[in-house]
Copies of this chain bind each other. A is one copy, B any other.
Amino acid sequence: MKAGIVGANGYSGVELIRLLLNHPQIKIEMLVAHSTSGMEIQSIYPHLGGIVERRLEAFDADELAARTDVVFFATPAGVSKDLLPECLKRGLICIDLSGDFRLKNPQDYAEWYKKDPADAALLSDAVYGLSELNREQIEGASLLSNPGCYPTATLLGLAPVLKHDMIELNSIIVDGKSGVSGSGKKAVIGNLFGEVNESVKAYKLDHHQHTPEIEQMIEEISGQKTAITFHPHLIPMTRGLLCTTYANLKQGFSTRELLEHYEKFYKKSPFVRIRPLGTWPATKEVLGSNFCDIGLNVDGRTRRLTIVSVIDNVVKGAAGQAVQNLNIIKGWDEQTGLTFTPIYP
């Protein structure tokens, strides 16, 4: 099977290259970039020297249709909504890593992304690719919308208690902590080493575009509309994302009981690992891998549940989950090409 990557010169793009090179069923056939088309990918990313030496091409739907079977869109917000439909109508499997096809309600997109939304019919067709929760819808899908990094960590952490109505929905608070690669390879002051290093800050309080995505999925799982508090923080590291999610339990479950519930809930999900009682994951422990590790804590005094979930934002939070979704779409083993052991230290 042949793959094209649109936005191959960004961080998610090069991560897709790393992962697909390790995939036994996929051959990378076409690398598409806008600002750097015509250049050799290895001249921009010398780490690919001797591995993938290929010229970046301009976007051309006919060319993609002629040469590839699946196209990944690793583009900034507002790009794939225009380009992806061209590939979809030519019969290609399209996997979008941006936010363009995540929100079902076009007005939500307009409000949170401050851009024109994609075609409403396509939004309706798009399958939300949170692999562990939506496997059935994903199988055979042709338009796959890959989740955001924060929603992936948050929702995998919340799903077991949401599905079984164990928490008070209006008490959900998500305190997110992310490495800087989450915002892509953009030459902006705020992402400079001199600004990020030796510092931590909160940003986009109540205005992050992943908020409606999390809320939409909470509603889908629980059947109820709710407003959450989601506050992301920028951490001085390149990769890694940790969400600390707080919620009040409806009943007095113990941490041990909940851990058993989570173990059971995810027993067929090889990429979700539940941590033993009294331990919580560090982002470093999933670095370079597609794992989402989850630790729990119930405070008996306040009946409050804390969920600590970590991912590598560029893998499970972007390129890795995209490949996992392609595996599910094609009916391959979910782990195909994704059995990377985390790099430690």
Contacts and interface: CB of A to CB of B under 8 A. Distances in A.
Number of copies: 4
A197 B200 contact: no
B205 A280 contact: yes
B283 A201 contact: yes
Contacts of A185: 189, 192, 194, 345
Interface string A278-313: 011111111111000101010101101010100000
Interface in A149-200: 170, 173, 175, 177, 179-181, 185-189, 191-200
Interface residues of A, number: 85
Contact of A197 (B227, B237, B293): B237
Interface stretch (A48-56, A59-67, A83-91, A118-126): A48-56
A284 B285 CA distance: 19
A229 B343 contact: no
B191 A341 contact: no
Nearest to A312: B343
A286 B191 contact: no
A285 B46 contact: yes
A235 interface: yes
B46 A293 contact: yes
B229 A246 contact: yes
Q: Which of A45, A280, A314 has the most CB of B within 10 A?
A: A280
Interface of A: 11, 14-15, 17-18, 21-22, 45-51, 170, 173, 175, 177, 179-181, 185-189, 191-203, 205-206, 227-229, 231, 233, 235-240, 242, 244, 246, 270, 273, 275, 279-289, 293, 295, 297, 299, 301-302, 304, 306, 308, 314, 339, 341-345
Given A47-B285, A206-B297, 17 more contacts: A22-B341, A47-B284, A47-B287, A49-B275, A173-B246, A180-B192, A193-B197, A193-B238, A197-B236, A199-B283, A202-B295, A206-B299, A206-B301, A228-B302, A233-B242, A236-B236, A236-B237
